[in-house]
Amino acid sequence: MIMVYGLLKRYLGLLFLSACIISNLFAEVTQKKEKPVMFQVRKDIKYQVIDNFGASDAWRIAFVGRYWPVEKREKIADLLFSTKMDTNGNPIGIGLSNWRVNIGAGSFENRENKEVTSTWNRTECFLSPDGSYDFSKQAGQQWFMKAAKERGVDDFLFFTNSAPYFMTRSGSTLASDKKRINLQHDKFDDFADFLALTTRHFIDEGFNVRYISPINEPQIDWGENKWQEGSFATNQDAYMLVEELDKALTRHGVSSKIVFGEAADMKYLFDCDTSLTMPDNIIEEFFTRKGQYNIMGMPNVYNCVSAHDYWSAYPAKTLVGLRQKIRGALSAADNGTKFWASEYCILEKNDEISGEPSPAKSLNLGLYVARIIHTDLAVANASAWQWWTAVSLGEDVPVQLKPNEHSTAESLKYDGIVSPTKMLWATGNFSLFIRPGMWRISLDRKPEISELEAATSLMSSAYTDGEKVVLVFINYEDKQKEVKIRCGNSTKGKMYVTDMDKNLEYTGEHKLSELIIVPKAVVTVVI
């Protein structure tokens, strides 16, 4: 009897100890569980109007659009431009609203001088040295222009990286001189006429070419970097060219607006403590009333400064800090100048996006790009966000081209595998739903956190056309977030998710009072 009592006492003791452990564990879990994040949509507080989301055709489109099987070209065009849904409500593409078209400078035709090294990156020029135009050139690019238009794109931007080779000082679309632009002094007006007349031709063909960008990344030494056409330009050079293009557009009756900046790094929007000839301090020099090269009074200039996201996106402190600086500078200028993030692909390497190709890396790349888009829109107040090249051979673009089995990279000029990336779908969480003319509006958050804190945890932004509301969340963490949203009298929203398993997938209608943002995901809620 004593033995039985002892065993019973020991059993009860163990049972009590287990209960205590379980209770403590439950208490820990309860304590660690995050409280729901509360959001209040404020339609009455408006920030910037959205102009577009875009990407460029440079340069692979030249081959893909000309030689690839038509069904694969159509597939790529659908992925980039379609706004349609399948029978299950899943998007077919990401609905880009802008298409950047590279007006080539003739590195393809110019065989006598040192030119762009890779045939992939050479371009044809519509204008010949004898002054005649041949608009049958760039057939591949023109195929995609038509495909974009057929899918609803009504916003084309023409950009050029160099003057035609026969107008340059070097006789090539490249030059090592970092003292002045690679354009003969008496050819500024000829170059401007070329851009204006080319634009007018395509407008007459039915394309709404809203913008022309005559200078690209003027801070780079394009003589050493022979991977693409390019030219250095001082601020004075840039002013002279913009002035001549402004006159040419009026002279030839072209309604397109000039967009300027295209800074290679966002730091060049400010004074970088470089030489006087260095093209920097762009906001103050070109877009303030006291600027030495103020272009805002020119009738054909769009009041917008553009810059590229390269080397400006990591770490998070740099990402957020530079964009806060842009917002502050344009606010201080107080003249309505917009900001465009007009070019990006992943060139840099860092801990967040390094490693061998894998599903996990692909997702990380998608989240990384989504964070950049969010910060450009929600911190810098960007009115447009545009990819560099839409289609390429690497994994750092929206649509990757892969060789067919037992084929080489060179064979990709004629055929291959179309492989959409997570970066495509993550971009679509913004571009498909945030349409031109929509406003970014206030999205009050409780508890409040800083813009820098948000960049490593849960990012959020809101947009409206006056009726429909679009919310975009980026959960950068490896744990889910519970979210509660107040938006007028609305109780539900349609949700679209990009994560490890989903590609902009429609997951149905969800209650706004109990939304779950899954780990490491980009989520769009349409109300």
The pLDDT value given to residue 28: 43
Is residue 69 exposed (0-12), middle (13-18) or buried (19+ Cβ within 10 Å)? exposed
Say whether 273 sits in a helix, a strand or coil. Answer: coil
Q: What is the pLDDT of residue 33?
A: 67
Predicted confidence (pLDDT) at residue 4 exceeds the cutoff of 60: no
State the pLDDT at residue 272: 78
Helix (H) or strand (E) holding 338: strand 338-343
- pLDDT at residue 22 greater than cutoff 80: no
pLDDT tens track for 428-484: 999 999 999 999 999 999 999 999 999 999 999 999 999 999 999 999 999 999 999
pLDDT of residue 275: 60
Distance from chain centroid for Cα 203: 25
- Across 140-165, average pLDDT: 98
- pLDDT category, 231, cuts 50, 70, 90? very high
DSSP string, 184-240: -GGGHHHHHHHHHHHHHHHHHTT--EEEEE----TTS-TTT-TTS------HHHHHH
Q: Note the residue count of the chain.
A: 527
Q: Check pLDDT > 70 for residue 29.
A: no
* Contact between residue 220 and residue 228 where contact means Cβ atoms under 8 Å apart: no
Mean pLDDT taken over the chain? 92
Distance separating alpha carbons of residues 380 and 372, to the nearest angstrom? 11
Please name the fold of domain 35-45+442-526: Immunoglobulin-like (2.60.40)
Residue 369 confidence (pLDDT) above 90: yes
pLDDT of 99 over the 80 cut: yes
Q: Beta 257-263 vs 301-308: how paired, if at all?
A: parallel
Statement: residue 112 has pLDDT above 80: no
Q: Please report the pLDDT score of residue 273 as a whole number.
A: 65
Identify the burial level of 350 via C-beta atoms within 10 angstroms of its C-beta, where 0-12 means exposed, 13-18 middle and 19 or more buried: exposed
Sign of the alpha-carbon dihedral angle for 124, 125, 128, 134? positive
Q: How far apart are CA 211 and CA 254, in angstroms?
A: 10
pLDDT tops 80 at residue 20: no
Q: What is the pLDDT of residue 416?
A: 96
Q: If you average pLDDT over residues 170-191, what whole number do you get?
A: 94
The amino acid that residue 52 corresponds to is: N
Range in 54-58, 172-176, 191-195, 269-273 the model is least confident about: 269-273
227 versus 156: the higher-pLDDT residue is 156
